[in-house]
Structure 1
Amino acid sequence: MDSLSDPYTVFFSTAAEEGGTVIGLVACMLAWLVIGILVGRWCYLRSASRQQQQQQTTQKKVTVAPNSNGSSDATSPTERPTAPLLTRRERAKALEEELKLKKQSEEEAAPSKQHEAAVKESNKANGDEDSSSEDWSDEEEESETDSETAALEELRLKMVLIVRKDEPMMSAPSIATKAAQAALAVLHTTFTAYQGSSELDSDAKAVAEKWWQWYLWWNQIGVAKITLKCPDRQTLIDLHMKAVDCKLPCALVEGDILAVGPAPSKDLDVISGTLKLLN
């Protein structure tokens, strides 16, 4: 009986030992897995806490600028004052003032400055310098404004858009689109010529500055835009060449629409005087 029980005892004892080892390994693996999960969770919570603190710090962050009284006011970055937006008329007025200053700087001796110096010398001798110089400055500003207004009324600036009416006929949307393209092309030509005027000869520079002056006046007071028709494409091309010879700002779009101006009415009448309005 003892001899029969010995193999069973050895088998069960060996199985128990091996089973205990497997259970121990499984328990160790589960323990390490739980520890890894806990460490990962802790790292995630710590990172989230740092991000939240950074967001709160950014939201509370303010810029401090001294005011007129010498004290400082806290304002958020989104509340910083912005420069006022200028209208097209105001921008054109500013550009025109820059053009006037540029012309004045290029002149060697301005008669107005000589007259002002003479008036100051005379007033200084008479003891009346301050009042007389102020009166003369006011009169000069008024005379400049009046002369500019009179010049604008005399020029009667306008832009003409000439459309060919032969076959194939263009649809109304196509005419509107190409007319806008032609007008923009003229303005681009004017701007490009003025930007590169410093590299041109005296005659071309004078033409570019004249175009730019017309453009600035157009932005201030606006100009009439008239749509005309011509019989065929060849006539349109001939009119374009004529406008170029007359040194007027112009642009031809796809041989369909010609834009000329802004320019004085008397100059445009030479180009389009015989054409009729587009119906």
Structure 2
Amino acid sequence: MQPSINSLATLFGIAAVSLASGYYLGQVSTTGPLKKHHVKDILKRCKAKAKKEQEMQGSDSEGYEDGDDEEDEEDEVEINSLSLNDIPGEVRMALVIRQDLGMQKGKVAAQCCHAALACYRLIATDPSRESYNLPLTERWLSHGQAKITLKCPDKETMDELFAKALSLGVNSYVVHDAGRTQIAAGSATVLGLGPAPKAVLDQITGELKLY
């Protein structure tokens, strides 16, 4: 007896599904290695590109474009701020930016980052430092890590603010630029203050305008 048209259609359908499944499984089994090889190739090209850029920048390979210039290494002043722990209220960090240097926005942002990280490193990362003050740091961290940016007209004013911070026991750091992009090497760009109680910072920066 010859098979019916419906039976033939069913057989062709099963065959088509089998072929499609086999092709799909074959693709799945080979895609993994292909993807891994592709990723390795991309990483290899990235590594070669980074190496070439380092060679172009010079042996120190520390220069950044425009606003991402690094600051010079310098001696850090370790300030004991434990006397501020009993002062209540908000704890914040202040970043005081010199205006006479004519820094562009990206440059200012990079220098403020340097100042903030340096202040944090001084007060929170090494218990052997004179400037280490974990309780004050935790107050700052647990309430949003408040930061304020302020304008400073010139280096003389910045020096006065720094001296006042030292006298009040406020953790401080002055960023000196490496001079690889917009300004002269060694220029004091940003004064980082804190974390410290707002009431104390106001005694130092209360007359400065917001940046």
Aligned residue in 2 for 1:260: 193
Contact preservation (8 Å) 2:140, 2:146: no
Offset of 1:187 from its aligned partner? 0.9
Offset of 1:246 from its aligned partner? 1.1
The CA RMSD over aligned residues, in Å, is: 2.0
Corresponding residue SS for 1:277: coil
Aligned residue in 2 for 1:219: 141
Aligned residue in 1 for 2:91: 157
Q: Distance in 2 between matches of 1:247 and 1:213?
A: 15
- Specify the structure having the higher radius of gyration (Cα): 1
Aligned residue in 2 for 1:170: 103
Q: Distance in 2 between matches of 1:231 and 1:163?
A: 8
The reply on whether 1:244 has 2:166 as its aligned counterpart is yes
Offset of 1:219 from its aligned partner? 2.1
- Stretches of structure 1 that go unaligned for 5 or more consecutive residues are 1-150, 198-203
Counterpart mapping for 1:74-113 below 5 A: none
Q: Distance in 2 between matches of 1:175 and 1:267?
A: 25
Q: Distance in 1 between matches of 2:141 and 2:99?
A: 31
Q: TM-score, normalised by structure 2?
A: 0.50
Aligned residue in 1 for 2:62: none
Q: Distance in 2 between matches of 1:262 and 1:155?
A: 12
Aligned residue in 1 for 2:206: 273
The reply on whether 1:185 has 2:118 as its aligned counterpart is yes
1:225 partner amino acid = K
Counterpart mapping for 1:49-128 below 5 A: none
User: How many residues matched?
Assistant: 115
| Residues 111-162 of structure 1: CA deviation (Å, up to 9, x unaligned) | xxxxxxxxxxxxxxxxxxxxxxxxxxxxxxxxxxxxxxxx89x421111110
Q: Distance in 2 between matches of 1:212 and 1:244?
A: 19
Corresponding residue SS for 2:203: helix
Residue of structure 2 aligned with 1:234, choices 129, 150, 156: 156
Offset of 1:216 from its aligned partner? 1.4
Aligned residue in 2 for 1:196: 128
Q: Greater relative contact order (Cα 8 A, min sep 6): structure 1 or 2?
A: 2
Offset of 1:163 from its aligned partner? 0.5
Offset of 1:165 from its aligned partner? 0.7
Offset of 1:195 from its aligned partner? 1.3
Offset of 1:276 from its aligned partner? 0.6
Corresponding residue SS for 2:199: helix
Q: Distance in 1 between matches of 2:196 and 2:89?
A: 8
Q: TM-score, normalised by structure 1?
A: 0.39
